[in-house]
Amino acid sequence: MATETKSAEQAGRAPLRVKVARVVEETADARSFVLDVSDDTLRSELTYRAGQYVTVEIPWESFHIHRCYSFSSAPGVDAQPQFTVKRVAEGRMSNALIDRVAAGDTLTLHPPAGRFTLDRDAGMRPLSLFAGGSGVTPIFSLLKAALRETRRPVRMLYANRDAASTIFAAQLDALAQEHAGRFSLRHHHDDAGGFLTAETLADWLRGAPESGRGSDHYVCGPTPFMDAVEAALQSVSVDDGRVRVERFVSPADPDRRDTEPAQTPTSGTGEVPEDFLVTLGSSIRRVPYSRSLTLLGACKAAGVKAPSSCEDGFCGSCMCQLVEGDVAMLNPLALTDSDVARGRVLACQARPTSAKFLHVDFDAVSFRAGGDGDAMTPPLSASRAALVVSLCVGAALLVRWLHAVI
């Protein structure tokens, strides 16, 4: 299972100042903010893939706050990028945007990021989309891209409290009619049908060919909804490698942060390795390690462009598979219990806790949004990784020897 890297490295890039072209009222509690990217340079900086998100920054009292919002537009479909915000009770950012931002205002945005993107090598593999509430925003983006760019059959289940709270209802119904026979849509309203259960969702899955086992599944919504979907997928034996979920945990604002960050340690001796192995982009690199650095910090220091975004443990962009070794994490808020059980770690939060051989694999859990393809790659075993590195070192020594004797 892949839990929500980016079309461009966000870390280290300056924020963008972007004018709002217009604000669209989607429901009583939701607004879409359409961005003015008439400037070619700005348009290039805001290049994104369907399913990605943008981080919004606003001043608040004596500090700034940040929130991630998914694009609800799709490149090549919508002329201008837009993100959609649903009001959250007591939510600082959502209320500020909905109540105060109007057409012509300027927002501070950080460049697009996110792994929740379509697999470019999927061919005609069927697509199943699960959206709950405002979790429809990246799902809507993915849907529009899939219908335009591929011939894949698409099924979508969209759950909401009631009809009035359903974001993009008319647009989705129009797409279902336009692409009848290829795109099927099921609305579920809690006020009429009760809360969805894993059993109900499993029944819906069984209506797909092979009960969805040959499909790619994308899930986004409130945690109870996503938990029910994941349980349903497991009950019909869908492989984890075909499931991609988008989870966002809002970063704590400076005035609401704990003074003592939570720790999730593994075993450790206090010693650390001199270096560690990183699998990224189907290649393996040996990265020097310094005790003061996180794994992500060490990668950056070595020039390895590992996926990253918030670097605070909230977005999950730097998630990787711990193939071998011991680490401890400070604030792994983007990880679920299931992620931790599978050995997933956040590189921005992880530090080695022993001198044991250490190997992390970004390819094993990420769909590389900026690469030529998004295919999942199984993690290399420690022995295979060591063998590859040994062969690379041996080849380099052979070349040096040949230069010396020729």
DSSP 67-94: EEEEB-S-TTTSSS-EEEEE--TT-HHH
Assess contact for 154 and 182: CB atoms under 8 A.
yes
Q: Are 224 and 190 in the same domain?
A: yes
DSSP 306-342: ---SSSSSSS-TTEEEEEES-EEES--TT--HHHHHT
Q: What is the CATH number of the domain that holds 355?
A: 3.10.20.30
Asked if residue 388 is part of any domain, the answer here is no
pLDDT number for residue 390: 53
Asked if residue 211 is part of any domain, the answer here is yes
Assess contact for 358 and 272: CB atoms under 8 A.
no
With bands split at pLDDT 50, 70 and 90, how would you rate the model's confidence at 214? very high
pLDDT number for residue 369: 32
C-alpha 184/C-alpha 182 separation (Å) is 7
Give the phi and the psi of residue 200 in degrees, each rounded to 5.
-65, -45
Q: What is the CATH number of the domain that holds 47?
A: 2.40.30.10
Q: Are 141 and 221 in the same domain?
A: yes
Q: Are 268 and 317 in the same domain?
A: yes
Asked if residue 197 is part of any domain, the answer here is yes
C-alpha 333/C-alpha 344 separation (Å) is 12
Asked if residue 253 is part of any domain, the answer here is no
Q: Are 137 and 219 in the same domain?
A: yes
Assess contact for 344 and 321: CB atoms under 8 A.
yes
Q: What is the CATH number of the domain that holds 138?
A: 3.40.50.80
Asked if residue 386 is part of any domain, the answer here is no
Assess contact for 150 and 122: CB atoms under 8 A.
yes
Q: Is 198 helix (H, G, I), strand (E, B) or coil?
A: helix
Q: Say how many domains are in the chain.
A: 3
Asked if residue 334 is part of any domain, the answer here is yes
Q: Is 102 helix (H, G, I), strand (E, B) or coil?
A: coil
pLDDT tens readout for residues 81-117: 999 999 999 899 999 999 999 999 999 999 898 889 9
Q: Are 265 and 343 in the same domain?
A: yes
Give the phi and the psi of residue 112 in degrees, each rounded to 5.
-55, 150
Structural domain for 47, as ranges:
2-113
Domain boundary (246, 274, 296) is at 246
Q: Are 375 and 264 in the same domain?
A: yes
Q: What's the pTM value of the predicted model, to 2 decimals? A: 0.75
Q: Are 265 and 242 in the same domain?
A: no
Give the mean pLDDT of the chain: 85
Q: By mean pLDDT, which of 56-70, 101-115, 189-203, 391-405 is the weakest?
A: 391-405
